[in-house]
Amino acid sequence: MKQFSLLVAACAATLSFSAVANAQDVTLKMGHVLAPTHQFHKGMELASEKLAESTDGRIKLEVFPSSQLGTERDMHVSVRTGGVDMLLASPGGASVHLPELAVLDAPYLFENDDHWQAVVYGDVGKEWERSVADKSGVHIMGWFPRGTRHVITKGIPLNSIGDIENVKIRVADIPPYPQVFQAFGATPTPVAFSEMYSALQAGVVDGADVPLDTILAQKLFEVSDHVNLIAWSFAAPGPILMSDSAFNKLSEEDQQKLREALRAGTQYIAKAFTENEASVQDELEAKGMTFVTPGDIDAWRAAAAEGIPNLAELWGGDAELYTRIRDTEH
């Protein structure tokens, strides 16, 4: 009887210790490449506040903007080793963990917010979450929209697709950006995000692939003069990635609270993109930018469609995955 009592006491002590361990304070560090004025940062600051509220301050999310934790490429390496707890990733960048994610950056894929959310929060997204965890040990904790991507140029209005022929366009040094602009006929020129301003200023490139808000946040209106509204990418949701070591510091309950906080932050981002686009355009025009809407958008779509079989190699060769996502009911 005495031995049984000792065993019960030992088990109780173990459970108590486990509960205390699960309730320990945890500080998570998240990195991204945008400026602190960008809605990505503001949305993640909101997520930080929501997380602190739901965990009584036990779990803190510190958000580091402007590539303070490294370039996106650097952070993808670090998230696998535990050097970075979390990052806001582009689909192309995240494809180093799971190639299929690159499809989210494919041209003219999504129609609206309901469309991309039906994909990433539906069966496709859930399968990706399982696959990334199994294959790389990295965890997808949420998704965030990345705006509508256009092209800015310096002294070169793009009135038609022919005008982009051989024009040096700054693209991210990750798939599928170089391949997309090669399909359009441009000369894609990989430049780090942090060096985009100086590359435009020095004439290393003639233009850049960016959403409207980035033009404003990074002050690219100082080094370019045309915004060409080709809208080749809508939302292109990126995964919010978490290292395995950071993931395992949280109980299942706290993991869910983190997911909910991040969802609140990404809803803020989606709303900000929708509500702010008109005002951002007005502000950019006031700063001297000229907006150009090419008269042959169907030609841009056609060029993109012709490139899908080649682009599909980036996500494992399955061109039907593009069609499945494009045609998802929403």
* DSSP H/E element including 59: strand 59-64
Taking the C-alpha atoms of residue 311 and residue 106, their distance in angstroms, rounded to an integer, is 8
State whether 102 and 240 are in the same domain: yes
Domain presence at residue 180? yes
State whether 213 and 252 are in the same domain: no
Q: Which domain holds residue 295?
A: 148-235+280-315
Question: For the chain, what is the mean pLDDT?
Answer: 92
With 80 as the cut, is the pLDDT of residue 12 above it?
no
Q: Which tens digit of pLDDT belongs to each residue from 241-293?
A: 999 999 999 999 999 999 999 999 999 999 998 888 889 999 999 999 999 99
State whether 63 and 173 are in the same domain: no
Point out the domain boundary residue: 226, 252, 275. Answer: 275
Q: Which two tokens stand for residue 147?
A: 């705006």
State whether 268 and 286 are in the same domain: no
With 80 as the cut, is the pLDDT of residue 43 above it?
yes
State whether 188 and 130 are in the same domain: no
> Residue 219 is part of a domain; what is its CATH number?
3.40.190.170
pTM: 0.83
Q: Which tens digit of pLDDT belongs to each residue from 87-106?
A: 999 998 999 999 999 999 99
Per-residue model confidence (pLDDT) at position 23: 59
Q: Tell me how many domains the chain contains.
A: 2
Domain presence at residue 224? yes
State whether 57 and 202 are in the same domain: no
Q: Which tens digit of pLDDT belongs to each residue from 158-176?
A: 999 999 999 999 998 877 8
Point out the domain boundary residue: 227, 259, 275. Answer: 275
Where does residue 8 rank: exposed (0-12), middle (13-18), buried (19+ CB within 10 A)? exposed
State whether 116 and 228 are in the same domain: no
Domain presence at residue 37? yes
Angle of helix 252-286 relative to helix 39-54, nearest 10 degrees, comes to 150
State whether 245 and 269 are in the same domain: yes
State whether 174 and 117 are in the same domain: no
Domain presence at residue 154? yes
Domain presence at residue 15? no
232-267 exposure pattern, b = at least 16 Cβ within 10 A, e = fewer: bbbbbbbbbbbbeebbebbeeebbebbbebbbbbbb
State whether 53 and 181 are in the same domain: no
What lies within 8 Å, CB to CB, of 315 at 6+ separation is 95, 99, 100, 101, 102, 103, 321
Taking the C-alpha atoms of residue 69 and residue 30, their distance in angstroms, rounded to an integer, is 8
State whether 118 and 261 are in the same domain: yes
Q: Which residue shows structure tokens 């997520």?
A: 47
Query: By the 8 A CB rule, do 134 and 33 touch?
Result: no
Domain presence at residue 288? yes
Domain presence at residue 311? yes
| Pairing of the two strands 59-64 and 26-31 | parallel
Domain presence at residue 52? yes
State whether 206 and 84 are in the same domain: no
Confidence band, pLDDT 50/70/90 cuts, at residue 217: confident
Q: Which tens digit of pLDDT belongs to each residue from 288-304?
A: 999 999 999 999 999 99
